[in-house]
Amino acid sequence: MSDATTKPMDDIMSLCKRRGFVYQASEIYGGINGFWDYGPLGAQLKKNLRDAWWEDMIMNPCWGRTGPGGERVRCVPVETCIIQNPKVWEASGHVGGFNDPMVDDKETKQRFRADHLQGGYLGSSPAGDPALALAQMQGQITKVEHIPAFTITAGGPDEAAAILLADRKLQKLLGVSDANILPSISPGAAPLLQLTYRGQPAFAFIFPVSGAVQEHAHAQIPSPFTGKAGSLTAPRQFNLMFFTYTGATATENDKVYLRPETAQGIFVQFKNVVDTTRVRVPFGIGNTGRSFRNEVTPRNFTFRSREFEQAELEFFCHPDDSFEWYKFWRDFRMEWWQSIGLAGENLILREHEKDELSHYSTGTSDVEYRFPFTAPGFGELEGIAHRGNYDLTQHAKHSGAKLEYFDTDRGETLPNGAKKGERYMPHCIEPAAGLDRGALALICEAYTRDESRPSPEIMKFHPRVAPIKAAVFPLVNKDGMPEVADRLHADLFKRFGRTGFVETDAKQSIGKRYARMDEAGCPFCFTIDGDTLTDQTVTVRSRDTGLQDRIAIDKVSAFLTDALLA
Ligand code: ATP
């Protein structure tokens, strides 16, 4: 697969619209910021992703592997409500603390997350040595009196550099021209640009503008939208929870929230699951569904939306075993994303630094994908967090319910050979994935251009997630070919139709029909032609190679089974 940095996001988005993967929500009314709908192919792609998660996390967790204790991993599902008793969100900390610091530009009325403000800091070196210029800058960058020459809003410095380089209009607005990116001085160092700023040659380093600088010197910071200082407010906390009212009176007492994550539904049903099923710690509870966050700046297509879908698991275990389980889940989740097609160097597992961890977490890792809009940096697909016993303890405290677990397999051994038992609050490992970001990563990874083909855009989806599994075409719509095609189509549909479309299409030239299937990501097309009627063979054409072969019509089903499993 080609490098994400070479994939143009605009082309990917236009293919998504053209072929019915993703549409703007309420498009005929001008859309609504932060909301996206899936068309037929996108809906099936996302269903395949959700099903793959469900199969590999709930039905046959971790592909039947054993965990650190040598036992098979066991998990069960729940499906919990979007609206819960508001006390759930007080206990979880979301009502009090689920805030993003936000900045307004008073002139353009635009709003963005303060931690997304990236500064272009200028540096110079008499000898023209960028490393010296950077060293000179580094000591000054976080001082409150050190104001960037220009700013850009982006998820990180790499993304900001990419935006600046690609957008001539923005360059003009910010007073920048002749900008080039220089090779990185050291891994993880700030992106380094050589440019002309307001007519003067300079080096520019892109660093996040620190909270302290924004707090104290916001009036001097140039706006990312106008390039001029004086219009930005200091950061203010903004709660990301959507709310509404239950019942007709709509008083403050009727206020309820739309869930910002599916995980809390699991914690509040933990006791019911333990009491009504035969699960024993260690075990996991999975939950999938829509979550809502009133994101300050929805951006980057479906990556940061206000309504999105999550697939979360809480794995409950004994405190002594929890770190081993954390490592187990972290590694499995990385392997899982690789198994559905994100196998190249666009995927990384990033362990958080100590200072990034929540106060209750002893370890967190993110599975990150290099999206075209984050490249050369990465964006989070899933977080795997060791959450200790924080959530159960909070809910026990706020609800008064006893959420401790009595483990009959632990404690000292009694004279009769049984265990005395041990009461404890289980610790929790949380792999929390986003299905929309997952689907977007699959789309970006699949997008391939092959200029040697008549129609160069090909979606090379992994067969497991491909929304169309196969297509059957009569070469011409006569001479008995449509009837044979219909029979093969019905047969393939019976076998493969549960996991994707099986298409048939008799219109247009065969080349155009292949091209349509390439853009939709269908791995194989089968064509019925004149020879089929005499020798019972069909042409099989592969999406990835464009090559054609002939196989017996009664072997098509077995061929496809092997090919889709491969
Ligand atoms: P970010 O730092 O990007 O805001 P997060 O760390 O707050 O994400 P989590 O609370 O860990 O995200 O949620 C788990 C997963 O849910 C994320 O890894 C992501 O895939 C998905 N997710 C979170 N927020 C959004 C969003 N606004 N749009 C789409 N997916 C999201």
Quote the pLDDT of residue 505: 92
Instruction: Write the CB contacts of 376 (distance below 8 Å, at least 6 apart in sequence).
Output: 5, 158, 162, 370
Distance 342 CA to ligand 1 centre (A): 18
**Average pLDDT in the chain:** 92
Strand-strand pairing, 427-434 and 111-113: unpaired
Residue that wins the pLDDT comparison between 238 and 42 = 42
| Cα→Cα distances 209→4, 124, 151, 153, 237, Å | 27, 19, 8, 10, 17
Quote the pLDDT of residue 5: 55
pLDDT in tens, 11-36: 999 999 999 999 999 999 999 999 99
Helices 556-565, 481-496: crossing angle, 10 deg rounding: 40
Alpha helices (runs of H) in 83-241, residue ranges in sequence order = 86-92, 94-97, 130-138, 157-166, 168-174, 211-217
pLDDT in tens, 472-481: 999 999 899 9
Q: Is the CB of 159 under 6 A from ligand 1?
A: no
pLDDT in tens, 334-354: 999 999 999 899 999 999 988
Distance 434 CA to ligand 1 centre (A): 6
Quote the pLDDT of residue 376: 86
pLDDT band at 1 (very low <50, low <70, confident <90, very high): very low
Distance 436 CA to ligand 1 centre (A): 10
Quote the pLDDT of residue 446: 98
| CATH topology for the 4-98+243-445 domain | BirA Bifunctional Protein; domain 2 (3.30.930)
Q: Is the CB of 426 under 6 A from ligand 1?
A: no
Nearest CA to ligand 1 atom 6: 383
Q: Is the CB of 42 under 6 A from ligand 1?
A: no
Distance 229 CA to ligand 1 centre (A): 32
Task: Answer for the pair 91, 267: CB distance below 8 angstroms, yes or no.
Answer: no
Q: What is the position in ligand 1's atom list of the atom closest to the CA of 435?
A: 20
Burial 351-372 (b: 16+ CB within 10 A, else e): ebeeeeeeebbebbbbbbbbbb
Q: Is the CB of 304 under 6 A from ligand 1?
A: yes
Q: What is the position in ligand 1's atom list of the atom closest to the CA of 298?
A: 27
Q: Is the CB of 365 under 6 A from ligand 1?
A: no
pLDDT in tens, 168-224: 999 999 999 999 888 776 656 778 899 999 998 888 989 899 888 998 899 999 999
Domain limits, the chain:
4-98+243-445, 99-236, 450-565
Distance 315 CA to ligand 1 centre (A): 19
Q: Is the CB of 436 under 6 A from ligand 1?
A: yes
Q: Is the CB of 310 under 6 A from ligand 1?
A: yes
Instruction: Write the CB contacts of 328 (distance below 8 Å, at least 6 apart in sequence).
Output: 67, 68
Distance 540 CA to ligand 1 centre (A): 41
Tokens of 118: 């990236």
Nearest CA to ligand 1 atom 16: 434
pLDDT in tens, 217-254: 999 999 999 999 999 999 988 888 999 999 988 888 99
Q: Is the CB of 437 under 6 A from ligand 1?
A: yes
- State whether residue 40 is helix, strand or coil: helix
Q: How far apart are CA 183 and CA 163, in angstroms?
A: 17
Q: Is the CB of 430 under 6 A from ligand 1?
A: no
Q: What is the position in ligand 1's atom list of the atom closest to the CA of 305?
A: 28
Q: How far apart are CA 313 and CA 324, in angstroms?
A: 17
| Cα→Cα distances 371→117, 298, 368, 509, Å | 20, 16, 9, 35
Architecture of domain 450-565: 3-Layer(aba) Sandwich (3.40)
Distance 374 CA to ligand 1 centre (A): 15
Nearest CA to ligand 1 atom 3: 380
Look at residue 142 and tell me whether its pLDDT is greater than 80: no
Quote the pLDDT of residue 73: 97
